[in-house]
Structure 1
Amino acid sequence: MTNALRRLATKDATWFWRVPGPRCEDIEMLNYGKTRDWKSGDVRHSYTTKDSILYALALGVGADPLDGRQLRFIYEKELAVVPTMAAVLASPGFWMRDRAELGIDHLKIVHAEQGVRLHAALPPQGTLIGRSRVVRVVDKGAGRGAILYIEKQLYDEATQQLIATAEQAMFCRGDGGFSLAGGGDEAPTGLPPTPDRPPEAVVDLATRPDAAALYRLCGDLNPLHIDPAVAAKAGFPKPILHGLATYGMACRGLLELYCDYDPLRLRSIRGRLSAPVYPGETLRVECWREGGEVAFRVRALERNVVVLSHGRAEV
C-alpha cells in the first residue's frame, strides 16, 4: 500500500473496511446487539456488619480512634455505612470476560467512571438484590475504543425498596470500530470539568501501605492489586490501588468536609478515574461549591497527579 493510500485509510475507516481482505463479519469485534441487550438477572448478596466495617477500614475510616464521627462506621453500635459501598454490593462479576459471544476484548478494559445515587440509607447488614444492565454502548472509532455504560439497581430483598442506583462506564480500549457492522449509541452528556480556580475546601487522606490488600477483601480479587509480578507485567512498578477504593476515599473526604460524617447527607457522588494510585500515597480531596453540587477532584500528592477528576456530589 502506498503512503497516500495509508493516509486515506487512516482518515476514512469506511474505505479501510472495503479493501480486499477478511470480511467484516469474519473479524472478531464487539457484538453491539448482544452487548446492548445484556442483563445480569437477580444477583443476591447477603452481607454482615463485619463486611460494612471492613469496607470502611479499607478506606482508612477510623484512622483517628478518638473521632466519634468516624467511629460510627467501624463500631457495630449504631453502625453506619459509607455510601459508596453500594458500588461493590450485589455486582455481577467480570461478566465481559465470561461471555465470549459478546466479542469484548476483556484484557483491555479500564474502569473509567463511577457514580452512586442513594435512594435510602444502606443497611449495615442484610440481603440486597442487584439488577445490572447495559444502558449504552458508544463507539469512539476504530483504534479509539468503545465505552460501555452499565446501570445497577440495588433492592432490599425483604422490602423490595430501591436502595441505590450505581452507574459505571467501562472503557473497552480494544473494541472501537464495531459500529461499522451496525449499531452504536449516542454518547451521553459528559461530566462537567473541574473548576479553574483554587479549591475552596481541601482535606488530605493518607492511604495505608496495605490498603489494596485490605480493599480486595471487599470483593475485587484481581491480582494486579496484590501480586508484584502481575503488576510488573501490566507496566506498573508495584501493585496499584483499586479504582473503586480511590472513589471511596473521595467519598470519605466529602463526608468529612461537607457532611460531618453523616452518610444521609450525601445523596450522590460521581467522578472519572483518571490515573492509578499506589498504596501508601496521600490523597488530597479538593472541592468547590457549584450551584447545588460540590465539584471535586483527587490528587496523589507525592506525584502531583490527578487520580480522580470531573467529580460531582449532591450533599
Structure 2
Amino acid sequence: MKTDELTIAPLDPARVARVENCGGTIIPLEPLGTEVRGIDLISETLPDPEVVQALELEMANRGFIVFKNDQPLSVDDFLRSSCLWGGRALHSTHGMHPSTPGNNPHIFRLSNDRRAGIPGVGPQWHNDGSFIAATFSHSGYHIIRPAEKGGGTYFAHQGAAYDALPQNRQAYWRRLSSVNSASGVVHPVVHKHPISGRLCIWLHLGMTGAVIEKRTDGDGFRLLNADELTRLCHEYNDILNAGLENGYAAIYDYRENDCVFIDNLAVAHRASPEAHLPPEQQGLRIMHRSTVKGVRNLAPTVELPQFLNIDGPSPFGEGVWKSGGVGFRWEDDIPMQN
C-alpha cells in the first residue's frame, strides 16, 4: 500500500456527539490518538455507558485516548477508570516498587530514579502482557510527575504498519508465530483486531525466544534461524519507526495529571530514550501503569498450540529457540528490559 493511502480512522461524528451530549469534548490528536476533556474520572460516578463504549471504539480505531485532568487522580480513581475498558478488571503481573502508594499491587510505578520507581522499562517496541495467552486488552498510564525536559512514549498504529508492508512480506508475516521467551506462549505475528477488524502486526522486541513459520507447501513448520529472525526484528522495528515520518506513529509528551489509556491490541509502544535519562539531566519522572484483563486469548492463526515448552528442546529442528530474560538479542548494543 502506498504511503498516501495509509489511514487511521477519523473520529466518528456520532461518537463525538455522544461524548458532547454528556458535557465532554473529544478531538483527534495527529496522526493518532484522541484527547478527551470534561469527562470526570475523579468521582465514583462512572461515565455514561454509551460514552464509555464510544471511547473504547475510538481507542480501537485510533490507538489511545488521553484524559486531560485539571486536578490529580487518586490511585483508586485511576484504577477504577482502568476497569472501564476491555475485560473490565485489573490483571496485574508486575513487581512492586517500595514507593508504590499504599503498596497497591495493581500499580506499576516507573521512574528514571530507582529510588522513586522502577527504571529502564520498555525501551523497545512491545505490547504489554505478551507473556500470557489473553494479553492485556488495555493499559493505563497516569502521569504523576513529567520530567521537566520531556521524555514521553512513542505509539505506533499496528494496523497501519501492516498496511505499510510490501504485499509479499504481508503474506510471509501472516505465516509466522512468535514464542515468548519467558512463558512459551504462542502469538500470531499478524492478528485481526477484535473491534476494528484490521490486520495488525504483533512482535515483542524484548521478549521473543523464537519465531515459527508455517511452510508454504502446508507441510508442517520450521524455526527461523538467527539471520532470519534478526531480519524480522529489524523489519518490525523499522516499519514502526517509519510511522513517525509516514503518519502512523508519534511521540506523546506527557503533562502532569494526564491519564492515557491504550488499546493494547491496536498500538505498540516504547519509552523514548529521554525517558530513561537520569533526573539530574532530565528532571524527575514518575508514572503509574495499570493493566486490564484480556477479553480472549490471542491465539495462533495456524495449527499451533497456545503454549510450547520454550525451556525444553525445540520441537521444530534447527533455528533460534531461546528461553529466559530478554530472549533473542537481535542487536548487540541496544537496551532491552521489560
**TM-score after normalising by structure 1:** 0.25
Which is richer in helix? Answer: 1
Q: Which has the higher contact order (CA 8 A, sep 6+)?
A: 2
Which is richer in strand? Answer: 1
Structure number with bigger Rg: 1
**TM-score after normalising by structure 2:** 0.24
